[in-house]
Amino acid sequence: METWRATYAGILPEGALARMREKNHRANWSHLLQGHRSGLREGELVMVAEEAKAGVVGFVSAGRVRSAIPGYDGEIYTLYVSPDFQNRGVGSKLLTGSFRKLEACRIHSVMLWVLARNPSRFFYEASGGLIVATRKERFWGVVLSELAYGWPDLARTLNRSSDGARAD
């Protein structure tokens, strides 16, 4: 919740952010990871970054593309890093790790949606993502612009990142 509140302050309605409860989100993720509800489908993944004293400091979920964008067969559904751990390489490791896992599932290209006003969009640009689509979505009664960032060739992206390129 801390990540949402820090990232989306001034973007999403303050009342909606204030009503968010960590225990509700924690319970939803716990159920998903334990295979309850619909569970993870084949080709989907969740990766977590932990720090000894702080516990979970970031996570990523990904799988087959949910939004039909021509040329993309994979999607990063969520990628969050605690504000205290941003700009330390956590996001890069999660993104690259998810790319490797998706490639192992025969996914060759990946995209993700991000709010256009989200400052983290620059992380995706620094990670080699290209803007490949835009859309408008309604969040808590507010219509906001979203950008789709894409990596059209995971093999090429992973070769570049293994050559020492760092995104954050």
CATH of the domain at 12: 3.40.630.30
Beta strands in 19-165 (DSSP E): 45-51, 55-64, 74-81, 110-115, 130-139, 142-151
pLDDT one-digit tens code per residue, 92-111: 999 999 999 999 999 999 99
Separation CA 110–CA 132 (nearest Å) = 11
Q: Give the closest residue to 82 by CA, choosing from 2, 168, 163, 162.
A: 2
Q: Give the closest residue to 49 by CA, choosing from 96, 110, 118.
A: 96
Domain count, the chain: 1
Residue 20 inside a domain? The answer is: yes
Residue 168 inside a domain? The answer is: no
Write down the pTM of the prediction: 0.76
Domain ranges, residue 71: 2-162
Residue 71 inside a domain? The answer is: yes
Separation CA 139–CA 12 (nearest Å) = 7
Separation CA 114–CA 77 (nearest Å) = 10
pLDDT one-digit tens code per residue, 23-39: 555 555 555 555 434 45
Report yes or no: 90 and 97 within 8 Å, Cβ to Cβ. Answer: no
Report yes or no: 134 and 145 within 8 Å, Cβ to Cβ. Answer: yes
Residue 167 inside a domain? The answer is: no
Residue 8 inside a domain? The answer is: yes
Separation CA 45–CA 55 (nearest Å) = 20
pLDDT average, residue stretch 43-54 = 89
pLDDT average, residue stretch 59-74 = 91
Residue 116 inside a domain? The answer is: yes
pLDDT average, residue stretch 53-77 = 91
| 157: pLDDT strictly greater than 80 | yes
Residue 86 inside a domain? The answer is: yes
168 confidence band (pLDDT: 50, 70, 90): very low
